[in-house]
């Protein structure tokens, strides 16, 4: 069959990258025809991945599929090894959808359009490469490749403090990614055979001390990308200064790389160390939820408020990963997918609002709901999804995490109760800061928005008061509060329909990865039971862990046999 022979994943990764090489020679000065070309590339790649997975991916198998492995640089053991399973398929589809719609959202860019669209396509390829890499060295290369386009997209097309925000993003993420390289080298060199293949790395039996060090290093690397407290401070600055299309990708895809890495490497390859670190992850998750919610409420800048909201929502991912339950880990995956859709549409609508008002300070926007009812309706629907309204994907994801932690038979009932109670506090704060944002932006006074732009006719982005991303940089008194255009309604509707669809019928997402997450959790639980048998005093047992059930010990004995 052609599905067994054609290199689907290689084609999906390389198509945007190869297409980007034609941009410098594209006969278009103002970018109006170029944008159609780039959008077409994004759509073709998304359709290609949908077709490849529909025809060749078996959701009932936990093993890797569509495996492609080619020798690349044998001197250092680097292979082009790519494949997918339940962890990568939904995130590849999410990356394709969000990036394609972000390209469509950047329709009005007219400042260096060739460079902008070139970077967007390179970023497209790098994101897919991270989620399908089965070679640790290849994963590191794709991880690093993704940093360069984001840095340039923020530093060139960003706001007042764009260079500071871009540099901070690069320093944080580049420094943290060194831990991926060091951990990969340590795992590859340990034992008799040197290999970077993740399947073979998972078969090695590492000493516990080494495994704990590897886990800690990877936790730092992925924790920075996931915006885990206290390694999160790059995120509000990057979101606050990035243009709306870049913020869509930052929130919708790049944060998910951290959660994916934790499940793929920390849980699947270092399951023994995860037993020791899981309570730490649970506590960090609760801190993220409450800290992010409180900081979000204190932000007068709309995009910074949404950025801290992302910090809060990523806490549920950590909590689900640490739950030791099938439902909890499934909820963490669902939360990543759900947040990717919701955060992308929220940042897109924040950009739509900024295009009209030329300010991100919510108190300066006045009551624009009456003038822009479509934007108001779309923004309200997205906010309802973010605050976990029943019937929306956010509700299903957070509920799965809550139930997964509550029903965990690994932690003591006291620990579960404390974690769930504290997480619920953050859940209560979420509607407060989101509804407050809607009130200030759409229900405020009828005073016209205020924003100082020194030269209305200039497209110069060195302006210290506004981001002239497109062609509509005008004086506030000349601003036209037009309602959402058909293109903008279409982009928002794509996200919102999927959000509602998953909320009403979660199997749209969960059936892609449930078999895989169950397999990962089974491996982690087996590690816990084996460690507890040899080390019954692990942690503060009375608070964290109950007595091991005899049935669990018996089940592990059967597995060992």
What is the maximum span of the chain, computed from C-alpha positions, in angstroms?
77
Three-state SS for 114?
helix
Tokens of 283: 């506590």
For residue 410, name the pLDDT band (cuts at 50, 70, 90). Answer: confident
Given a contact cutoff of 8 angstroms between Cβ atoms, the answer to whether 96 and 231 are in contact is: no
3-state helix, strand, coil in the chain (%, to 5): 70, 5, 25
DSSP, collapsed to helix, strand or coil, labels residue 71 as: strand
- Count of residues making up the chain: 561
Q: Are 256 and 338 in contact (CB under 8 A)?
A: no
Asked whether residue 340 carries a pLDDT value surpassing 80, the answer given is yes
pLDDT of residue 549: 42
Query: Which residues form the domain of 189?
Result: 6-445+481-534
Q: Which residue in this structure is represented by tokens 């080494």?
A: 210
Stated as kind and residue range, the H or E segment containing 206 is: none
Q: Which of 99, 137, 102 is nearest to 16 (CA)?
A: 99
Instruction: Categorize the per-residue pLDDT at 241 as very low, low, confident or very high, splitting at 50, 70 and 90.
Output: confident
- Evaluated on CA atoms 127, 314, 310, 156, the torsion sign reads negative
Dump pLDDT digits (tens) for 372-400.
Answer: 888 889 999 999 999 888 889 989 999 99
* Cβ neighbours of 168 (radius 10 Å): 18
> Phi, psi (5° rounding) for residue 308?
-65, -30
> Rounded to 5 degrees, what are φ and ψ at 340?
-60, -40
194 in a structural domain: yes
pLDDT of residue 39: 93
What the block records as the tokens of 311 is: 């910090």
pLDDT tops 80 at residue 11? yes
Assess if residue 467 is contained within a domain. Answer: no
CB neighbour class for 435 (10 Å; exposed up to 12, middle 13-18, buried from 19): middle
Residue 432 lies in a domain: yes
How many Cβ atoms sit within 10 Å of the Cβ of residue 155?
A: 18
Q: Does position 535 have pLDDT exceeding 80, yes or no?
A: no
Query: CA of 124: how far to CAs of 161, 222, 337, 428, 503, in Å?
Result: 25, 20, 17, 36, 27
Q: Dump pLDDT digits (tens) for 259-282.
A: 999 999 999 898 888 988 888 999
Number of Cβ atoms within 10 Å of the Cβ of 104: 20
Q: Does residue 481 register a pLDDT over 50?
A: yes
Average pLDDT, integer, range 206-219: 91
Please give the share of the chain, as a percent, with pLDDT higher than 70: 87
Distance of alpha carbon 524 from alpha carbon 211, whole angstroms: 14
Provide the percentage of residues in the chain whose pLDDT is more than 90.
40
Spatial distance between the Cα atoms of 241 and 221, rounded to a whole number of angstroms:
23
Q: What is the mean pLDDT of the segment spanning 417-430?
A: 88
Strand partners, 79: 71
Please give the pLDDT value at position 469. 40
CA 176, 179, 181, 184 torsion-angle sign: negative
Q: Which two tokens stand for residue 395?
A: 């509700």
444 pLDDT tier (thresholds 50, 70, 90): low
Q: Which helix (H) or strand (E) holds 311?
A: helix 302-321
CA neighbor of 188 nearest in space, from 204, 207, 176, 175: 204
Residue 545 lies in a domain: no
Q: Does any domain span residue 125?
A: yes
| CA-based nearest residue to 309, from 432, 399, 491 | 432
Q: For tokens 């052609």, what's the residue?
A: 2
Tell me the three state secondary structure of residue 40: helix
CB 153 within 8 A of CB 242: yes
The pLDDT tens digits of the residues spanning 279-334 come to 899 999 999 999 999 998 888 888 899 999 999 999 999 999 998 899 999 999 99
Which two three-digit tokens encode residue 353?
Answer: 């609002």
- In this predicted structure, the answer to whether residue 88 has a pLDDT above a threshold of 70 is yes
358 within some domain: yes
152 vs 530, residue with greater confidence: 152
Identify the band that residue 531 occupies on the pLDDT scale cut at 50, 70 and 90. Answer: confident
Tokens of 148: 């360069």
- The count of structural domains within the chain is 1
- Cβ–Cβ < 8 Å for 110, 470: yes
User: Has residue 31 got a pLDDT over 70?
Assistant: no
In the predicted structure, residue 249 carries a pLDDT above the cut 80:
yes
User: Per the structure block, which two tokens stand in for 495?
Assistant: 């996200």
SS3 456: coil
Residue 285: C-alpha distances to residues 82, 91, 392 (Å) = 31, 21, 22
pLDDT of residue 223: 92
Q: Describe the crossing of helices 113-132 and 136-157 by its angle, rounded to 10 degrees.
A: 150
pLDDT in tens, 366-376: 677 777 888 88
Residue 415 CA from chain centroid, whole number: 28
Q: 30 Cβ partners below 8 Å, 6+ apart?
A: 110, 113
In contact, 338 and 397? CB cutoff 8 Å: yes
Instruction: Flag the least confident range among 1-15, 43-57, 484-498.
Output: 1-15
- The span from the CA of 229 to the CA of 294, in Å, is 13
Q: DSSP string of 189-200?
A: HSSSS---BHHH
Nearest Cα residue to 164 out of 148, 178, 151: 151
Sign of the dihedral defined by the CA atoms of residues 43, 49, 52, 53, in that order: negative
Backbone angles phi, psi at 60, to 5 degrees: -85, 5
Region 177-182: what's the mean pLDDT? 92
The 8-class DSSP code of residue 250 comes to I
Among 13-27, 431-445, 528-542, where is mean pLDDT lowest?
528-542
Q: At what angle do helices 413-442 and 302-321 cross, to 10 degrees?
A: 160
- pTM for the complete prediction? 0.87
Dihedrals phi, psi of 80, to nearest 5 degrees: -85, 90
Has residue 543 been placed in a domain?
no
């Amino acid at each position: 069959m052609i599905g067994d022979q054609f290199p689907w994943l290689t084609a999906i990764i390389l198509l945007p990258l190869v297409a980007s090489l034609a941009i410098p020679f594209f006969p278009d000065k103002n970018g109006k025809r170029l944008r159609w070309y780039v959008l077409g590339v994004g759509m073709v790649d998304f359709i290609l991945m949908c077709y490849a997975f529909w025809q060749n991916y078996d959701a009932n198998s936990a093993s890797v599929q569509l495996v492609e492995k080619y020798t690349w640089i044998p001197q250092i053991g680097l292979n082009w090894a790519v494949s997918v399973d339940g962890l990568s398929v939904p995130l590849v589809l999410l990356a394709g959808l969000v990036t394609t719609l972000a390209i469509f959202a950047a329709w009005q860019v007219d400042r260096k359009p060739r460079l902008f669209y070139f970077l967007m396509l390179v970023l497209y390829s790098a994101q897919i490469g991270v989620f399908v890499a089965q070679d640790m060295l290849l994963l590191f290369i794709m991880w690093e490749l993704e940093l360069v386009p984001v840095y340039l997209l923020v530093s060139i097309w960003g706001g007042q403090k764009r260079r500071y925000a871009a540099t901070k993003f690069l320093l944080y993420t580049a420094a943290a990614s060194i831990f991926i390289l060091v951990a990969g080298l340590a795992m590859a060199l340990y034992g008799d055979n040197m290999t970077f293949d993740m399947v073979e790395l998972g078969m090695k039996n590492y000493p516990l001390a080494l495994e704990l060090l590897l886990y800690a290093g990877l936790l730092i690397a992925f924790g920075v990308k996931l915006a885990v407290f206290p390694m999160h401070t790059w995120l509000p600055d990057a979101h606050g200064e990035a243009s709306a299309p870049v913020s869509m990708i930052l929130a919708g895809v790049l944060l998910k790389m951290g959660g994916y890495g934790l499940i793929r490497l920390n849980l699947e390859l270092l399951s023994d160390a995860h037993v020791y670190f899981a309570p730490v992850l649970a506590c960090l998750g609760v801190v993220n939820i409450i800290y992010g919610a409180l900081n979000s409420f204190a932000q007068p800048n709309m995009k910074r408020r949404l950025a801290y909201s992302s910090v809060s929502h990523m806490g549920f991912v950590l909590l689900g990963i640490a739950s030791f339950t099938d439902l909890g880990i499934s909820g963490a995956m669902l939360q990543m997918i759900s947040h990717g859709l919701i955060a992308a549409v929220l940042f897109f609508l924040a950009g739509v609002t900024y295009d009209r008002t030329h300010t991100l300070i919510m108190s300066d926007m006045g009551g624009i709901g009456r003038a822009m009812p479509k934007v108001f309706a779309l923004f309200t629907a997205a906010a309802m999804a973010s605050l976990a309204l029943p019937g929306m994907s956010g509700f299903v994801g957070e509920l799965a995490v809550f139930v997964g932690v509550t029903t965990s038979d690994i932690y003591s009932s006291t620990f579960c109760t404390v974690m769930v109670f504290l997480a619920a506090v953050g859940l209560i704060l979420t509607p407060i800061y989101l509804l407050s944002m809607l009130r200030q932006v759409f229900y405020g006074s009828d005073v016209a928005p205020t924003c100082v732009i020194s030269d209305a006719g200039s497209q110069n982005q060195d302006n210290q008061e506004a981001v002239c991303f497109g062609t509509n940089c005008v004086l506030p008194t000349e601003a036209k509060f037009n309602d959402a255009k058909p293109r903008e309604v279409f982009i928002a509707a794509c996200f919102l329909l999927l959000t509602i669809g998953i909320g009403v019928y979660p199997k749209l997402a969960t059936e892609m990865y449930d078999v895989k997450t169950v397999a990962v959790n089974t491996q982690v639980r087996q590690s816990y039971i084996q460690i507890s048998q040899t080390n019954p005093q692990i942690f503060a047992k009375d608070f964290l862990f109950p007595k091991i059930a005899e049935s669990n010990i018996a089940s592990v004995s059967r597995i060992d046999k």
